[in-house]
Amino acid sequence: ARLREVASELLGPLRWSAASHPDDPSAGWNPTCLGIDKRLLLRHEVLREISRSRTPGNQQLVQELLELCK
């Protein structure tokens, strides 16, 4: 459950884009953390580490998140 929460925070709102919310702190979600793009971090680092665990639950989570990242 906690892993899904962390991944959801990195993914952010599905309809959010930099073009639609340029530097708007009231938008509620910040796409970067310490200068790192959260979605890129999720896609290239976090999902790779989650996929190393071969449990069915983790594999399903990786597939769901990969679909959402498209």
Encode pLDDT of 24-67 as tens digits.
555 678 889 999 999 999 999 999 999 998 899 999 999 999 99
Q: Residue 41: which domain range?
A: 2-12+31-69
3-state helix, strand, coil in the chain (%, to 5): 60, 5, 35
> Is 59 within the bounds of a domain?
yes
> Is 20 within the bounds of a domain?
no
> Is 18 within the bounds of a domain?
no
> Is 22 within the bounds of a domain?
no
What is the number of structural domains in the chain?
1
> Is 65 within the bounds of a domain?
yes
62: Cβ contacts below 8 Å, ≥ 6 apart: 47, 50, 51
pTM above 0.85, yes or no: no
